[in-house]
Amino acid sequence: MSETYMLPNPPGPNRAVDFDPAICNGCNSCAGICRSDVLMPNPEKGKTPIVLYPDECWYCGTCVLECRRPGAITLVHPLNQSVSVVWKRKATGEYFRLGMKRPPTPNARPPSS
């Protein structure tokens, strides 16, 4: 059991981006370019940056584009946004939503570039 601390409420939206510590090597290039300084270097070298100001994120995704380790950073839209991203499969009539528990198979086609 961890300690219970006296902390302010997490800001809403409270995450903005999520790091995978198994992939991220703490190089901080994302923190280096984040336009709003949402991300701060971790005091421990080699650890994932700290999401300090998730409430200032513009959700532009340039941290993900800057990152050289695919999968280390995931952009996480706030629920009040992802809850409105809904699609319907024409052939089956199924409904899907961004953030749903059992999403359909990813569409592997890359963007035109």
Partner 1 sequence: MSTWHEYLQGGKPVPTWPYPIRYGEERELETDVLVFGGGIAGSHAAISARKAGARVLVVEKEATKWSGNGGAGVDHWLSACTNPCSRVSPEEYTQRVLEDCGGYDCGPLRYVVARESWDALLDCEGMGLRIRDEAGEFTGAEFRDEETGLLFAYDYVNRCELRVWGHNMKPVLHAEMRRLGVEVLDRVMITSLLTEGEGESRRVTGATGLGTRTGEFYIIRAKATILATGLPGRMWNFSTEYRSTFRDPNCTGEGVSAAWRAGAEFSRLEESYPDSGTMAYISYAVGNAHNTWHGCPIVDANGKEVPWVDRDGRELGSLEERFTPAEGQRFMLGDGLRVPPSYENQTKKLAPDLPERILSGEFVLPLYADLSRMPERERRAIFGLMVGNEGRTRVPVYETLTKAGFDPDQDMLQVPIMDPSSYGHSNFWSGVGAPQWRMWGGGGVVVDWDLRTNLPGLYAAGGAIFGAGAHSSAAASGRYAGRRAAEGARGVSLPGADRAQTDREKARVYAPLKPEGRPMGWKDFNAGIGRLMQSYCGQYKSAGGLREGLRMLGELRESEAASLSAANPHELMRAVECLGMLDVGEAVMTASLERRASSDYLNFQRIDFPRMDPPEWRNLRPIKLGPSGPESRDLPFDYFLRPPYAPSLKENYAAHSGLERGEVRR
Backbone phi and psi for residue 96, each to the nearest 5 degrees, phi listed first: -130, 160
Shortest Å distance, C-beta 37 to partner 1: 6
Shortest Å distance, C-beta 104 to partner 1: 3
Query: What is the CB neighbour count within 10 angstroms for residue 26?
Result: 16
Residue 33 host element (H or E): helix 29-33
What is the C-alpha to C-alpha distance for residues 112 and 13, in angstroms, rounded to an integer?
A: 31
27 or 77: CB nearest partner 1: 77
- The footprint of partner 1 (CB under 8 A) covers 2-3, 5, 7, 10-15, 17-19, 21, 32-37, 40-43, 48, 50-62, 64-66, 75, 77-78, 80-81, 84-91, 96, 98-100, 103-109, 111-113
